[in-house]
């Protein structure tokens, strides 16, 4: 308990000292430094792709469980992630835009049909497009299986 109290006291002291000396770059740094700091903390493609992987799994299982509204939500979130990637990682923008064009026109239609067989074919197209994009970005070793489960409690509660 003493160790935790000491750590908390040290953190509090550091915060107070930073406030007193004006060490908060968000308010005291030059605009150039602020911009450099913000660029440095933008999520990399790998962070965005981890989130995409979760949406990918949830999309598959939402459709399989006939939770079409939740499936549509996953598609919207995936598209937002791709839009973020286009902004935060300009070197990946061209392939991200190609991916976006290839999948985000067909996925909503497959979900609207509310037909598992139709969706399953479209999901296979999505899967192929994901792996094609990985290959174009020198990551062909990243392949995607058909999801065995989803992580969302919306899909795992029966």
C-alpha separations of 144 from 87, 110, 132 in Å: 24, 20, 11
Q: How far apart are CA 13 and CA 72, in angstroms?
A: 48
Residue-wise DSSP of 80-126: HHHHHHHHH-GGGHHHHHHHHHHHTTTHHHHHHHT-HHHHHHHHHHH
pLDDT at 154: 87
Domain edges within the chain: 2-40, 45-156
Q: Which segments of the chain have a pLDDT < 70?
A: 1-22, 157-158
User: Does the domain formed by 45-156 have CATH 1.20.120?
Assistant: yes
Tens digits of residue pLDDT in 130-152: 999 999 999 999 999 999 988 89
Single pTM value for the model: 0.79
């Amino acid at each position: 308990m003493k160790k935790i109290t000491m750590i908390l006291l040290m953190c509090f002291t550091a915060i107070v000292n930073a406030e007193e000396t004006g060490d908060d770059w968000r308010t005291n740094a030059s605009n150039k430094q602020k911009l450099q700091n913000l660029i440095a903390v933008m999520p990399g493609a790998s962070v965005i792709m981890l989130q995409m992987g979760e949406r990918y799994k949830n999309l598959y299982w939402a459709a399989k469980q006939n939770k079409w509204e939740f499936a549509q939500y996953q598609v919207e979130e995936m598209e937002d992630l791709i839009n973020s990637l286009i902004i935060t990682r300009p070197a990946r923008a061209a392939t991200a835009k190609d991916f976006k064009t290839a999948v985000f026109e067909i996925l909503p239609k497959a979900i609207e049909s509310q037909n598992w067989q139709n969706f399953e074919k479209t999901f296979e197209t999505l899967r192929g497009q994901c792996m094609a994009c990985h290959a174009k970005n020198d990551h062909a070793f990243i392949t995607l299986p058909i999801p065995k489960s989803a992580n969302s409690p919306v899909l795992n509660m029966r």
